[in-house]
Amino acid sequence: MPDAVEVEDVTRVFEPRKKKDERVVALDEVSLTIPEGEIHGLLGPNGAGKTTLVKILSTVLLPTSGRARVCGHDVVEETKAVRPLIGIVFGGERGLYWRLTGRQNLEYWGALYRLPPAAVRERTRTLLERVGLADRADQRVEQYSRGMKQRLHLARGLIGDAKVLFLDEPTTGMDPIAGREFRTLIGELKGEGRTILLATHDMVEAETVCDRVTLIDRGKIIATESPRSLGHVISRFQRVDVEGAPEPVLGRIAALEGVSAVTRTEDGGARIEVSEEGATAEVLRRLVDAGVTSVRTSLPSLEEVYVQLIGERGLEV
């Protein structure tokens, strides 16, 4: 059985349309495979190439070179085979017909996905119930809250019974409760065996729902791992939490090569952040020599990994 998504050395270059514009390499020989049933996060700052990759996989943009397949079908040559298998879900306010009701939106897209009229009606009803919009189904979308619009987006992406869903920053601008509900829905979709590619800035979202994440920056893939094990990719960025360490000892540790920061915590302890391979061992030796025994080392969270690998620029989103 082929992987749900296969990306092989895909490059996309945007040539300048005007003299003042610059040539942009949005994707640079990107390779990625996503097995069936996986929720795969695509993490990166603005301009990293996330949306470009999603656009290529959803057949609205051609790669400059390389190949990409969805469920074994080439996204350039076999668009007719790919399109019924995919669903696209945007974040934000666009992508819906605001003057139509939620039901009318879904019925319209259902017809475009070539479903028979009876199946469109049934699936529309089921999806509206599933995303909690059954009571507001006949209200115009312009009267929906942001969270409701987002749920309708998801229902629209599912109207064709997509095997592979591309979610492009789907929780942008949603409040925390709506975001959590949305993530629960995404988790349910995995239970149905659907494959999901989730392009996001949201670390919590990626950590909560994704089986694996790919970090991408400036069109290049930096790492692909499960959110928990991604910390090992940058194991040199460890942190050491200590209790009862005397101030002079901490001062000497702060001066060590490979120690990037030493900060006092509210409970009187301290956190030592290490940014070079081998420095952790030296920090631990100095602490033990000083008689400090309450010591704990840990790997960074996904957010810390993101910041370390992509840099502070990545937070400017």
| Footprint of another protein (CB under 8 A) | 12, 14, 17, 51, 54-55, 58-62, 80, 83-84, 86, 88, 90-101, 104, 107-114, 116-117, 120, 140, 156, 160, 168
d(CA 66, CA 35): 19
Beta bridge partners of 273: 239, 261
**CB closer to another protein out of 4 and 253:** 4
* Shortest Å, Cβ 277 to another protein: 40
Task: List residues bridging with 104 in a β-sheet.
Answer: none
In whole angstroms, the minimum distance from the beta carbon of 56 to another protein comes to 9
Q: Which tokens is 157 given?
A: 């992406």
Q: Which amino acid is at 215?
A: L
Confirm if 99 and 107 have CB atoms less than 8 A apart.
Answer: no
Amino acid residing at 108: Y
Strand ranges, E, within the chain: 5-14, 24-34, 39-43, 65-70, 73-74, 86-90, 164-168, 195-200, 212-217, 220-225, 239-242, 259-264, 270-274, 295-298
In the complex, what is the shortest distance from the CB of residue 228 to another protein, in angstroms, rounded to a whole number?
30
Alpha helices in 131-278 (DSSP H): 146-158, 176-191, 203-209, 230-233, 247-254
Element (H, E) at 51: helix 50-57
The least CB distance from residue 10 to another protein, in Å, is 14
Q: Are 235 and 282 in contact (CB under 8 A)?
A: no
* In the complex, least distance from residue 233 CB atom to another protein, rounded to whole angstroms: 29
CB nearer to another protein: give 115 or 245. Answer: 115
> Least distance from C-beta 160 to another protein, angstroms?
7
Alpha-carbon span 7 to 29, nearest angstrom = 9
* For another protein, the closer CB: 119 or 281: 119
Ramachandran category for residue 291: left, alpha or beta (phi over 0 → left; psi -120 to 50 → alpha) = left
The residues near 139 (Cβ < 8 Å, ≥ 6 apart) are 101, 102
Q: Which is nearer to another protein, 58 or 214 (CB)?
A: 58
Measured from the CB atom, is 166 or 237 closer to another protein? 166
Q: Residue 19 or 80: which CB sits closer to another protein?
A: 80
Measured from the CB atom, the residue of 50 and 286 that comes closer to another protein is 50
| Contact of 66 with 8, CB cutoff 8 Å | yes
CB of 271 to another protein, least distance (A): 38
| Residue 214 tokens, joined | 């790919």
Compare residues 69 and 156 and give the one whose CB is closer to another protein: 156
Residues contacting 48, CB < 8 A, separation 6+: 216, 217, 218, 219, 310
Nearest distance from C-beta of residue 95 to another protein, angstroms: 4
Pick the closer one to another protein by CB: 156 or 183: 156
Min dist CB 119 to another protein, Å, is: 10
